[in-house]
Amino acid sequence: MAHVWVVDSNCFIHIGSMAPEGFIDDLKNILDNASTGLHVTPGVHDEVRNVRFQRWNGKPNLLEKMSGILMTINVEENEIRALAEKIGTKASPQDVDLSLMVLAAKMAQEGRKVTLVSDDFKMTTSGDKVNMAFDTCPPSTFLQRLADSGSKGQRTRLRSLSRRVRAAEMRYAISRAGQYDIQAKLTWMIDTLLSSKIVLGDDTEDISTSDERKMVAALIRSIRGEKVKKSTLNKLGNLPEICASVSKLDEHLTSLSSDGSSDDIGQEYENTATILAEVLETTGFALAPLDEEMAELAHRAMAGYLYRIESALGVMAKMSGNLGLARLHLSRALHSATLIDDVGAEMRAMHQLGLLAIATDDWKRAATLFETSDRQCQLIGGNRIAHLVLSGISRQLNGDEELAESHMKSAAVLVQSNKTEATDILTSVGNLLLTVDCPGLAIEVLDEAMECAIETGQSARLEILAELLLLANTAISNREQGNYDGLRQLLDGLNEIDDASSGEFLARIADIDQRVIELSKPLDETWSEWQPATRLLPDDSPLTVLRIDEDDEGRNLVISHHAELGAIGLWLPEGGIQASPGNQIQIQNSRVKVAPPTDNLRDVHNIRGVVAIEDATALSFIVRTDEIMDDD
């Protein structure tokens, strides 16, 4: 596992004043080779916002140059206050330093090797006082340790920088000799320098751990049908035969997604759950007589398969409108992902759980999940825009405005760097918010996606976004209008748009608004006699589910959207509908009646009419099964 560095502001100030040109290239190369980065909290950004590389041509801003290396992670105020109380008011470091200590401690608790880089000796003594499980070292030692992991040229340059920083640290410490006893600090600085070298990315493991991983890897290859050494198979005993049935799970998921869509997601869920139960029963029965060590090998080897099947079940439960069941499956998926130490899988599971938390208005839990998925995204070098935007939205809705702004500023940097990619990501985020019945939130995100699409000339994407914004605007109820003013202002900072593009954007939004007005009027014609469904929906064109409204008696009104009709409600008094926002509805071989909506239904759901279906079995709720598979 890569070494984790949590770095304070003083280190960056030293780097800004002394680092030569080319330092960033050396640093990035060493960190990339070690699959690690520099971790900071938002407070560090505030403290070094104006720091520049003094020895560089043009004296560029340090934060701008180092943005691709820094991993910024938020720490909640209550965690900072709790640590301050634990340390004691008089001995406690400043808030930014406390936030770094909290971050270092949390990452150490995750089993990582963490070093907090700071020349503030109070952070070391305070950490020791409350038994925090991380190491500390001054910036000079940090640079020395980086040098030890670099090439010959990098070692020369970084060691030279380390010596200059160390001289500055010593001069500062000696200058404070009349104010406090500096002996302990000088001893600490020297001890960190003389301590054994820490080579980034070179974790020494005991033989038993290494052997165990090899055994797990061999068992996974066996399950996949790949060739495994006979000597290794002998060590695995009958585990390959016991675990073989778990491959049925991936086979089932492949067949499930092969058709591209399904008109009975409830039955697909039941079939998948049955296959999972059979596999778990078979493997559990066979593993029960084995000892703990062998059983653990099997569980770790099967964890990837269980992660994928639980993720799929979670998505299917969500598509069926059962958010509670979806959360259970996705939580199980997250648990399985931790057994295979798959950071990407953990990230995707937490992101999905965050969306479910948004759907239930649990803003704080949503923020925590998105922030953690963002941390995982940074570890694997993925695009962070979706995680940051949803973190910012969740924090804003929870009233944590400073954290929300911090997330959105980080996202804005990424959006500006590649607006074509940002368009795709923001469109996807808007779509996801629609699938959890959050059209008001989706509108704000899709607006930003449209700005980026206009600036990058993506005409096809603009048409898709126009239809999505029309759907979102018809999905939002009159009661929701105006609830997101603060959020709108927050997201406006996500993208800077030029005047020419701004004019086109406003024109397109005005056109969408006009269409929304037209589609908000009651239907021109209603009828109380049964009529062919094609009279309402020409060419059997599908409807899109916006939400399911169930009354106290279990009767359903399916709020749906049609590109030409706008929002209408399908009245299904028998209830029992298994559907969710984003499902497609087709009406085949049935007649319908259409009535004007009551004032209350228009106010709550913004619908133009209420439609009764003569034969409810003629309704098909269709979902895209290619969205069920986990996106690796």
pLDDT of residue 249: 94
In this prediction, residue 468 carries a pLDDT of: 92
**pLDDT value of residue 31:** 86
Q: Is the dihedral of CA 202, 372, 441, 606 positive or negative?
A: positive
Provide the pLDDT for residue 344. 86
Domain map (residue ranges) of the chain: 4-194, 205-256+264-341, 527-627
This prediction has a pTM of 0.74
Residue with tokens 């034969």: 615
Cβ atoms of residues 561 and 437 within 8 Å: no
Those residues of the chain that have pLDDT short of 70 are: 1-2, 89-92, 111, 129, 177-182, 186, 193-210, 341, 477-485, 540, 629-632
Which pLDDT score is estimated for 202?
A: 42
Architecture field, domain 4-194 = 3-Layer(aba) Sandwich (3.40)
* 559 CB burial (10 A radius; 0-12, 13-18, 19+): buried
Is residue 624 helix, strand or coil? strand
Task: Determine if residue 261 is left, alpha or beta; phi over 0 gives left, psi from -120 to 50 gives alpha, anything else beta.
Answer: beta
Supply the pLDDT for residue 206: 43
Q: Tell me, what's the pLDDT at 200?
A: 41
480: which DSSP letter?
G
Q: Which two tokens stand for residue 116?
A: 């907090």
| Contact indicator for 15, 54 with CB cutoff of 8 Å | no
Domain spanning 527-627: CATH 3.90.79: no
Predicted pLDDT at 540: 64
Q: Pick from 12, 71, 61, 20: which is nearest to 41 by CA?
A: 71
What the block records as the tokens of 373 is: 């998925």
Question: Alpha-carbon distance 283 to 239, whole Å?
Answer: 10
Query: Rg of the Cα trace of the chain?
Result: 29
Q: DSSP character for 282?
A: H
